[in-house]
Amino acid sequence: MSSIDEIRDARIKKLELLKSKSINPYPTSSSREISLKEAIENFNALENKKDTKWIGGRIMSIRGQGAIVFLTFNDGTGTFQGLLKKDVVGAEKFDFFNKVVDIGDFVEIQGIFFTTKRGEKTLEIKDWHMLSKSLRPLPEKWHGLVDVEERFRKRYLDILMNGEVKERLVLRSKIVSLVRKFYDDNGYIEVETPRLQMIAGGATAKPFITHHNALGVDFFLTIAQELYLKMLLVGGFTKVYEIGRKFRNEGIDATHNPEFTMLESQEVYGDAKTGRDFVEKLFKYLIKEIFSSYKVTIDTAKLDFEKPFEIIAFYDLIKKYTEIKNPVYADQKELTAYAKKMGAVITPNESKENILDFIYKKLCRPNLIQPTFIIDYPVAFNPFAKRREDDPSIIDRFQLVISGIELVNAFSELNDPIDQKERYLEQDKKGKKGEQEISPTDAAYLEAMEYGMPPNSGIGIGIDRLAMFLSGAKNIKEVILFPTLKPKDNK
């Protein structure tokens, strides 16, 4: 078997041969008249008319049988068969094709459509042109690739060689379009907020830092768009949303990528209850549009979106699936001992809510298969959520979990600037103790709040994770075109 270098050298010689015949192997224009998808859809009419048409694409297979060659093309819209016959194109063009064309090359072919004796839709070639000469061979055993990261590094080959990968990524695009349509149809305005921010606010996460040379200052890459959206409510907007890239300098695992796409929205005069109603309608809309039914099987889970979503309070969830029977009053020592028993590594300054969150993710979340809203979190879980009026130790927040995956985080937004400042001070204290995933005091945001912010509800949906769930993917990298990877060989 020839090495890659040997194959490349042989193809470069073919490239030079094309040039020696004054043939541009990478021409500016193509004569293609119809896509392969159009050729398939209109095949009967094309065959009956016997008109000559130009089609083009990448050659995926070449099967030579003496004076005839069968070709399989892929142009991104479909696949089609071409038949090159020596007695039709002439000996010179036929022989030259065999000398310079390889699997992987882009070519265009002109001919008439017909059906073979085996019933295969085919174009009988009368002429051909090179459109792009490939120098590297396509992989032969891509589907059995052991090194999964190599698939992500060479995503272009992954998409080309694996139809399921392309379908999944196309589905992601459809999901984004559907989400955008749902928001637009419900009276929301799509906006854009800064990617470069002076303070990494709006969420509790570790940010990336960059430097602006002209201004001579450091900026944080945005971790959330929430605060800017709420400033727009102060300015008089009523329903706003953004679908944008976010960056968090944290770990990489099956459900996390440092660079990700997040939808966040704000609606004036809403609360967590109206937010839940909106989210439930959104998910039922997505399910029906994608699967044409409210009862679906995604991966191996049989899910019912027809009935109302289940609702359970956070502390009730802890009691249901753990041995902690009174989590409200459980102290740091009890929670730490239990978390360590479950395999957690707890630092001396670990907050109570972080320990509870670990226990929830380890023992509770995997059990939530049917669509379930978790409500009524402890106040320390989010510095921007409004307290419940009947119990100030609880925030009016919810998360939507399906198949053990957190898909939505939402709450009644805090619009009390005094309470917000107190929450910020608690975050600052955590930062001084060494905790990195905090939301530090944002004086500009506090000032905006003091001008008066209407009551409002906020919703956050991770688009990558949503696509992962709806496509049945096991890893978030599967639904990101070019996921973040460690450099190969650390170079």
Q: Which of 311, 279, 315, 288 is nearest to 394 (CA)?
A: 315
Q: Which of 318, 319, 316, 359 is nearest to 337 (CA)?
A: 359
Give the strands of the sheet with 217-221, arranged side by side. Answer: 196-197, 217-221, 209-212
Environment class of 410 (CB within 10 Å of its CB; exposed 0-12, middle 13-18, buried 19+): buried
Alpha-carbon torsion, ordered 184, 188, 194, 200, to 10 deg: -120
CA triplet 439, 443, 447: central angle to 5 degrees?
125
| Paired tokens of 159 | 């998409």
> How long is the chain?
491
353 is in an annotated binding site: no
Alpha-carbon gap, residue 266 to 162, rounded angstroms: 39
Q: Is 111 within 8 Å of 53 (Cβ atoms)?
A: yes
- In order of 179, 211, 417, the CA distances from 237 in angstroms are 20, 32, 19
The 3-state DSSP class for residue 271 equals: coil
Q: Which of 268, 237, 232, 313 is nearest to 412 (CA)?
A: 268
Query: Judging by DSSP bridges, how do beta strands 405-412 and 387-388 pair with one another?
Result: unpaired
| Paired tokens of 355 | 């320990």
Give the DSSP letter string of 231-265: HHHHTT--EEEEEEEEE-----BTTB-SEEEEEEE
Q: Which residues are annotated as a binding site for Mg(2+)?
A: 406
Q: Which residues are annotated as a binding site?
A: 406
